Chains A and B, each alone.
Chain A
Amino acid sequence: MTDIRADKLVDMVEPRSERERVEAENRRLAEERKKIARDGPKLKGAELEGRLDATWRRPPGIIGWLATVDHKEIGRRYIVTALLFLALGGVLALAMRLQLARPDSTLISADRYNQLFTMHGSTMMFLFAVPVMEGVAVYIIPLMVGTRSTAFPRLNAFSYYMYLFGGLMLWFAFALNVGPDIGWFAYTPLSGPQFSPGKRADIWAQMITFTEVAALSAAVVLVCTILKCRAPGMTLARMPLFAWAMLVVAVMIIFSMPAIALTSGMLISDRLVGTNFFNAAEHGDALLWQHLFWFFGHPEVYIIFLPATGFVSVIIETFCRRPVFAHSVVVLALISTGILAFGLWVHHMFATGLPRVGYSFYTAASMSVSIPTGLQIFCWLATMWDGRPRFPVPMLYVVGFIVTFVIGGLTGVMVAAVPLDLQLHDTYFVVAHFHYVLIGGAVFPLLGILTYWFPKFTGRMMNDTLGKVTFWMTFAGFHLTFFPMHWSGLLGMPRRVYTYPAGLGLELPNLISTLGSFVLGTAVVLFVVNGLVSLYRGAIAGPNPWGAASLEWATASPPPVYNFAHIPVVESSTPLWDSDGELPVVTGLRVDDKEILLTTVVAATPDLREPVPAASLWPLIAAIAVGIVFVASIFSPWALAFGLLPCGIAFAAWFWPKDLKRTPEPVII
């Protein structure tokens, strides 16, 4: 292939004088580059901090608030929004429990009940569990790996707005009695045009599109941050386990979420423009939906669970005062869980009539995933055994997690066996199982880690006594609610049915479950009260109140907007325990422009300096444009055609530099 060089083409496009002008400009910029202020022994302390603060602070006022690209603000919004959706989803759960407290209850109609369990499941999975994990990671990961920003902070902001709009759409629809009523899995043909006329199913499917765009964007942000933005010296082998967990999770999101986005797109097109993907009459297949849904749906469970294992590793390390036992085994367990998670989806479909070989294969695969998970649990137990454990509130949640999750894991191995699964499928036994693994496996560690990182987020400690009361109420309330469901499930009580007849022995377990759910609900209220009161009255935390080892504790609480005055250097996997009162740092980043350091992927040696984008309204505008297209396309396929231009303009303006003058060093404005 010929190589077209400048000297051949140059005179056609660019006169010689133009070239000379560019070279003169290059020389002038090189001179100016020498005058740029950088941090270092001569520029440190209060003066440096003042200038960095002025550089990194977003514009004031409502515009600046909407335009922010600070990962801490976005992470905080993600967490708060997700917790609000948790509260909403929890209220729905309490409503369902009230309905089921007595047999033949007429408190809630069948139609409303269908909406309630669909909204509960969809809200908890798509609007709470995944976003809250991503939110915590978006806040903590840059601090933990020792950098000043996430990669692609504007994409991060866009991700949050897409998530918010998707959640608002779903809940507005529910308020208007157009809430989906097809289960969180939306099986065809029930969700198809024949059995779900109206727009309820479309609202569900389009909520999926919103949240998947958000989750995928955040996943790319996290992968790039973890791989490229780590502090010098933080090799992959020294990387904190939470960062490892989030790396695996983000890669899993990237591989699994296209499945649900694709299949919900197919569902919308079956409903709106008459395609036949799931229409058996025209040779489509409802099982295609189940395959695509569970190809996402099973990894989803681990997408929720693996961040929580990261939380557990963080908490255990700090409160046992030793590194987690067998660091590399835990990492390998995370990776193998992530891979195995993609080979299990069919175990959700045992009742659909599969080939016998499929039964055996997916049973074996489902049981095998308990091996890496078991390894992790043994590593944590060994850490506690060998360390000097203390038991403040975060550690209590970890113990609660281990107990509860092991029970849930055992019932998981039980239902992996096909003969038993065929008996228990669609009964409350399964409801008990997945609440044990999801609440026990993810929400307990989440509450622990929120208590643990609360001082980092806010600068103040949560109240310990109230925290302990909350933990015990959560623990007791949880088991009171969900343990009896094993029992009602074994008695044959089906899921997703709005009531049950008297005289089958279901009254007592259901009444206990309802009582337990209110204990659990009260505990959640207590947690929120503790958080709100501590926000204003809590003890001042200081930079490292727990005596922890990882880098997020090397900066003030709450962290300044620029995170670190100098970029830290890492020499071990527990840098703050090995620091001898000094923090090794590198210098030389610009002070009057936003800049971060990129390092190599494996060895984390300094590689590049990277400008960080300024605050911008365009991610919000792009999210609004895309959001309008998504909502409009529930009603007309033409929305996609007409929406192309506004979305294109918004994305182009996002990318386009607002000042086309050259600068001595690159900036993104």
Chain B
Amino acid sequence: MMLEPHFTGDVADLPTHKFGPSSLTWWGIIGFMVIEGGFFMLTFAAYFFLMGHEQGWPPEGRQAPDLLAGTLFTIVMLLSEIPNTLVKKAARAGDVPSIRLLLPVMVAIGAVLLVIRGFEFNSLNCRWTDDAYSSIIWALLVLHASHLITDWGDTVVLAALMYTPVSHEGRRWVDVDENSLYWRYVWLLWIPIYLMIYWVPRL
């Protein structure tokens, strides 16, 4: 026998979007961040595990990666947080014109970063087949490159969507807000990787 409903309240006036931990997608994104963070942490663990077997790091006869491309990448990436913060603020304010202006800027910055990343691969001074050191250095850079490409593709699609009428819906502003949150994660994760690829071999 089914129970009779007993009406206790009404939720019709609740909003359909909120920023931050109230949002369902915010939790989804945090979930995927932890997953990707897991990949990176374990790669870091593998890096130090393999490093522990060596007499020197980089192993004797190898040169540490050249600094120029990686450092340039790091500077551009850190600077990208300025427009990123602006997009995030515009999203929270529901300021569609500013979002329309700034998301393409983020797309352009992402494209520049991908080009610099290409040069980075060229300045590692090793091929992934050389030895375990080379393999793990390449693994770090490849993993972060895939992180970058994914987020860049995401930003391109979102930027295009913001030029359609649905850009005036609050839920799209939440998307933009969370996209900016994700970009922060991409550059935050880069900092330890930058140190591990370019500076730990110089210690």
List 18 A-B residue pairs with CB atoms under 8 Å apart, sorted by A's residue number.
Answer: A3-B86, A5-B95, A254-B31, A254-B34, A258-B42, A259-B42, A262-B43, A275-B128, A284-B132, A567-B11, A582-B5, A584-B6, A588-B11, A606-B9, A608-B17, A609-B14, A610-B16, A666-B171
Nearest CB of B to A338, in Å: 14
Question: Does A426 touch B at the CB level, under 8 Å?
Answer: no
* Stretch from B66-74, B133-141, B182-190 forming part of the interface with A: B133-141
Partner of B10, one of A279, A587, A608, A611: A587
* Stretch from B45-53, B108-116, B117-125, B194-202 forming part of the interface with A: B45-53
Question: Does A601 touch B at the CB level, under 8 Å?
Answer: yes
Question: Does A47 touch B at the CB level, under 8 Å?
Answer: no
Interface string of B3-24 (1 = CB under 8 A from A): 1111111111111111001111
Question: With a CB–CB cut-off of 8 A, which chain B residues contact A661?
Answer: 165-166
Question: With a CB–CB cut-off of 8 A, which chain B residues contact A423?
Answer: none
Contact present for A583 and B4 (CB under 8 Å) = yes
Given A254-B31, A277-B135, A652-B153; A583-B24 close (CB under 8 Å): no
Of the listed residues A25, A255, A284, the one surrounded by the most CB atoms of chain B closer than 10 A to its CB is A284
Contact present for A587 and B168 (CB under 8 Å) = no
Q: How far is the CA of A612 from the CA of B165 in the complex (A)?
A: 20
Nearest CB of B to A317, in Å: 19
Nearest CB of A to B113, in Å: 17
Interface string of A252-278 (1 = CB under 8 A from B): 001101110111001001000111110
Question: With a CB–CB cut-off of 8 A, which chain A residues contact B4?
Answer: 581-583
Q: Helix, strand, loop or mixed for chain B's interface?
A: helix
Contact present for A273 and B129 (CB under 8 Å) = yes
Contact present for A277 and B3 (CB under 8 Å) = no
Closest to A251 in B: B34
Contact present for A291 and B165 (CB under 8 Å) = no
Contact present for A276 and B24 (CB under 8 Å) = no
Question: With a CB–CB cut-off of 8 A, which chain A residues contact B98?
Answer: 4-6, 9
Q: How far is the CA of A292 from the CA of B166 in the complex (A)?
A: 45
Closest to A25 in B: B168
Q: How far is the CA of A207 from the CA of B47 in the complex (A)?
A: 25
Contact present for A223 and B27 (CB under 8 Å) = yes
Closest to A565 in B: B5
Pairs of residues from A and B, 9 with the lowest C-beta to C-beta distance, nearest first: A588-B12, A258-B38, A220-B31, A583-B3, A275-B135, A582-B6, A284-B132, A588-B10, A274-B129
Question: Does A657 touch B at the CB level, under 8 Å?
Answer: yes
Question: With a CB–CB cut-off of 8 A, which chain B residues contact A543?
Answer: 1-2
Contact present for A285 and B166 (CB under 8 Å) = no
Q: How far is the CA of A275 from the CA of B45 in the complex (A)?
A: 17
Contact present for B97 and A611 (CB under 8 Å) = no
Nearest CB of A to B63, in Å: 17
Q: How far is the CA of A542 from the CA of B3 in the complex (A)?
A: 12
* Stretch from A38-46, A178-186, A401-409 forming part of the interface with B: A38-46
Question: With a CB–CB cut-off of 8 A, which chain B residues contact A576?
Answer: 3
Contact present for B7 and A275 (CB under 8 Å) = no
Question: With a CB–CB cut-off of 8 A, which chain B residues contact A285?
Answer: 49-50, 53, 132
Nearest CB of A to B7, in Å: 6
Q: How far is the CA of A589 from the CA of B13 in the complex (A)?
A: 10
Question: Does A26 touch B at the CB level, under 8 Å?
Answer: yes
* Stretch from A10-18, A59-67, A73-81 forming part of the interface with B: A10-18
Interface string of A135-178 (1 = CB under 8 A from B): 00000000000000001100100000000000000000000000
Q: How far is the CA of A277 from the CA of B54 in the complex (A)?
A: 13
Interface string of B156-191 (1 = CB under 8 A from A): 010001001110111100000000000000000000
Question: Does B101 touch A at the CB level, under 8 Å?
Answer: yes
Q: How far is the CA of A9 from the CA of B98 in the complex (A)?
A: 7
Contact present for B46 and A277 (CB under 8 Å) = yes
Given A598-B24, A609-B15; A254-B10 close (CB under 8 Å): no
Nearest CB of B to A661, in Å: 6
Partner of B7, one of A10, A41, A152: A41
Question: With a CB–CB cut-off of 8 A, which chain B residues contact A660?
Answer: 164-166
Contact present for B132 and A1 (CB under 8 Å) = no
Question: With a CB–CB cut-off of 8 A, which chain B residues contact A223?
Answer: 27, 31
Q: How far is the CA of A9 from the CA of B97 in the complex (A)?
A: 7
Interface string of B74-95 (1 = CB under 8 A from A): 0000000010011001100101
Nearest CB of A to B37, in Å: 8
Q: How far is the CA of A600 from the CA of B5 in the complex (A)?
A: 23
Question: Does A386 touch B at the CB level, under 8 Å?
Answer: no
Partner of B86, one of A1, A275, A584: A1
Contact present for A589 and B11 (CB under 8 Å) = yes
Question: Does A237 touch B at the CB level, under 8 Å?
Answer: no
Of the listed residues B34, B50, B95, B98, the one surrounded by the most CB atoms of chain A closer than 10 A to its CB is B98
Question: With a CB–CB cut-off of 8 A, which chain B residues contact A610?
Answer: 16, 24
Contact present for B149 and A644 (CB under 8 Å) = yes
Interface size, chain A (Cβ < 8 Å): 96
Given A273-B129, A276-B132, A583-B6; A6-B138 close (CB under 8 Å): no
Q: How far is the CA of A269 from the CA of B132 in the complex (A)?
A: 12
Partner of B165, one of A269, A295, A589, A662: A662
Closest to B6 in A: A582
Interface string of A471-515 (1 = CB under 8 A from B): 000000000000000000000000000000000000000000000
Nearest CB of B to A330, in Å: 25
Of the listed residues B6, B11, B157, the one surrounded by the most CB atoms of chain A closer than 10 A to its CB is B11
Of the listed residues B2, B5, B31, B54, the one surrounded by the most CB atoms of chain A closer than 10 A to its CB is B5
Q: How far is the CA of A285 from the CA of B45 in the complex (A)?
A: 13
Closest to B136 in A: A277
Contact present for B101 and A585 (CB under 8 Å) = no
Contact present for A266 and B50 (CB under 8 Å) = no
Nearest CB of B to A127, in Å: 21
Question: With a CB–CB cut-off of 8 A, which chain B residues contact A257?
Answer: 35, 38
Q: How far is the CA of A164 from the CA of B20 in the complex (A)?
A: 34
Contact present for A276 and B12 (CB under 8 Å) = no
Contact present for A224 and B31 (CB under 8 Å) = yes
Nearest CB of A to B94, in Å: 9
Q: How far is the CA of A277 from the CA of B46 in the complex (A)?
A: 9
Question: Does A357 touch B at the CB level, under 8 Å?
Answer: no
Interface string of A359-391 (1 = CB under 8 A from B): 000000000000000000000000000000000
Question: With a CB–CB cut-off of 8 A, which chain B residues contact A584?
Answer: 5-6, 8
Contact present for A585 and B27 (CB under 8 Å) = no
Question: Does A393 touch B at the CB level, under 8 Å?
Answer: no
Nearest CB of A to B39, in Å: 5
Question: With a CB–CB cut-off of 8 A, which chain A residues contact B59?
Answer: 283
- Residues facing B in A586-635 (CB within 8 A) are 586-589, 597-598, 600-601, 606-611
Contact present for A44 and B5 (CB under 8 Å) = yes
Contact present for A283 and B133 (CB under 8 Å) = yes
Contact present for B166 and A662 (CB under 8 Å) = yes
Given A10-B97, A608-B22; A254-B35 close (CB under 8 Å): yes
Nearest CB of A to B165, in Å: 5
Partner of B132, one of A5, A282, A567, A586: A282
Contact present for B168 and A606 (CB under 8 Å) = no
Partner of B5, one of A284, A583, A655: A583
Nearest CB of A to B169, in Å: 6
Contact present for A151 and B28 (CB under 8 Å) = yes
Nearest CB of A to B148, in Å: 12
Question: Does A420 touch B at the CB level, under 8 Å?
Answer: no
Q: How far is the CA of A555 from the CA of B107 in the complex (A)?
A: 48
Q: How far is the CA of A583 from the CA of B82 in the complex (A)?
A: 52
